[in-house]
Amino acid sequence: MNKISWALPFLMLTSCPDYNLSALDDPEHPDGSDPAPGGVDGSDTPWPSDTPLGGLHGKICHDFEEGLEGIEVLIEHAYGVARTFTDADGNYALNDIPAGEYMLVAVGAEYFFHAPVLVPANELIEIQHPECVTECDIPVPCVGLAEAFDRGAASVSFQAAMGVGSVVVTNESSDLEICLDPWMVAFSPDSQDVLFGPRDGHLLPPGQSIDFPYRRDVFGGDGQRAWWCVEQYQYTRAGSYYTYNGSLAPSRLMGLVVDRTDLNSSGILDQIDIVDGQAQTQHNIWDTERAHPIFLVGRRSSLVQLTGPGQRRPVEVEVRNLGQRSGTTSVVEVVPPGFNVTDVNPPGQVSTLADGSTRIAWDVSLDGAEPDFNYVLPTRYDDAVLRYSLSLGDEPCEGRCEGNGLLAEWNDRMGRSWSSASEPLIIEHCVPEVRR
């Protein structure tokens, strides 16, 4: 298995605006003239002159910024077929369709869309195609840090002042609140990798930042929150930025930073017991990493956006061994009901649970981490990427759908069981709307 350094690019993922649909002027007949009835737009048989007519128009996109040209759009009605093709900008219009309920179909080389539509008399409606939508409503008080990262709404950096350094989380959005509940692990190619978190959670409003001071006892004094090094042989550099893939602190390390431990039996709590210039808790973390495998799980993106039927989106699960000993872990992903799972690679074990969820399980073996004892290069972590694809199934949830966190379980070198988890999978399913 290849050794890699943890250095993913900062993710700026766009999401699914509210549907603001309104009837527009007829794009094919701007002068208001009426075409001759019958045989229009590919229909076959003239209809009676008193037939109530309506129309529709829309835009088909490659993504929300770029139109898709040459897509055939059609409606079959009682007098034949109304048919057209999208222009260079992805726009289309079907005019003078007998009023009624139909199935709108759009098809191209790599595109398929169908949806029931009601064409009212003497009105023009706009069809909202899902891939052109840029954002779904987020009906929750706050989103997790991983989701905020994927929406381009958060950053994690290292800032120093007066010789004191802090991990700083910044909410860069104008409308999202970020909930910082669990302890997290973040990585940087040019600074020490960090374990950080608040004692009781924290709500970070738009435009604000929160700092995590180094090596605090979160249960003592005004501690509340802290960060600790998980990479010993590296310098911490002010101004460095971190990537975060939703990896939560593994249980093997959590007990060292949130419990009042005294592992060296000195009679002083490890968090404030300074040994060789470092708090004993920091030594405990590094000693544990040297002696055992410690697995982390996350996703390259915790946010998956699904729009039209038949669309498939890849999900990439990342497994990383933070410890310097090799080991094997079982990794489990549970996808909510209403979504199809395909293209599982490596194959793993796929099963359907009683509630309709899909469970995927993999066994992953990784070598130990390799630090650079000269403090020059970042630690090389052994890494595995597990992939699968998501698509809409029967009765999927709509809007922002919160799934489950990944789970990894393993035994250390002494046979004791440990686990780690990730922030939840978020599936954004924007439902196409048709409004008059």
Point out which residues pair with 151 in neighbouring strands: none
Residues 6+ apart with CB under 8 A from 65: none
Token digits of residue 234 = 């590296």
* Burial (CB count <10 Å: 0-12, 13-18, 19+), residue 255: middle
247 in a structural domain: yes
Least confident of 54-68, 200-214, 264-278: 54-68
- Tell which residue, 185, 296, 293, has the closest CA to residue 231: 185
11 in a structural domain: yes
Number of residues in the chain: 436
The pLDDT assigned to 291 comes to: 95
24 in a structural domain: no
DSSP 271: G
DSSP-based three-state secondary structure for 367: coil
Residues 6+ apart with CB under 8 A from 108: 68, 70, 71, 72
pLDDT digits (tens, 9 = 90+) for 150-196: 988 999 999 987 667 899 999 999 889 999 988 999 999 888 999 99
DSSP-based three-state secondary structure for 283: helix
- Tell which residue, 68, 74, 35, 78, has the closest CA to residue 56: 74
Token digits of residue 90 = 């992805």
Same domain, 88 and 215: no
Q: Under a CB-based contact definition with an 8 Å cutoff, are residues 287 and 322 in contact? A: no
112 in a structural domain: yes
* Full domain range(s) for residue 360: 3-15+137-435
DSSP-based three-state secondary structure for 169: strand
Q: Averaged over 205-210, what is the pLDDT? A: 95
- Write out the H or E segment, with its range, that includes residue 289: helix 280-291
Comparing 169 with 259, the larger pLDDT belongs to 169
- Write out the H or E segment, with its range, that includes residue 167: strand 164-171
Same domain, 289 and 367: yes
The pLDDT assigned to 21 comes to: 20
Same domain, 112 and 126: yes
Same domain, 114 and 163: no
Q: Under a CB-based contact definition with an 8 Å cutoff, are residues 1 and 384 in contact? A: yes
**For a pLDDT cut of 90, what percent of the chain falls above it?**
54
Token digits of residue 332 = 């489990």
Confidence of residue 134 (pLDDT cuts 50, 70, 90): low
The pLDDT assigned to 5 comes to: 32
Last residue of a domain, one of 69, 101, 132: 132
pLDDT digits (tens, 9 = 90+) for 350-387: 999 999 999 999 999 999 999 999 988 899 999 999 99
- Write out the H or E segment, with its range, that includes residue 16: none
* Burial (CB count <10 Å: 0-12, 13-18, 19+), residue 164: exposed
DSSP-based three-state secondary structure for 132: helix
Same domain, 113 and 173: no
CATH code at 64? 2.60.40.10
Comparing 196 with 13, the larger pLDDT belongs to 196
122 in a structural domain: yes
Report how far residue 410's alpha carbon sits from residue 118's, in angstroms, rounded to the nearest whole number: 55
Last residue of a domain, one of 82, 113, 132: 132
Mean pLDDT estimate for the chain = 83
Instruction: Quickly list DSSP for 58-99.
Output: EE-EEETTEE-TT-EEEEEETTEEEEEE--TTSEEEEEEEES
Same domain, 127 and 145: no
34 in a structural domain: no
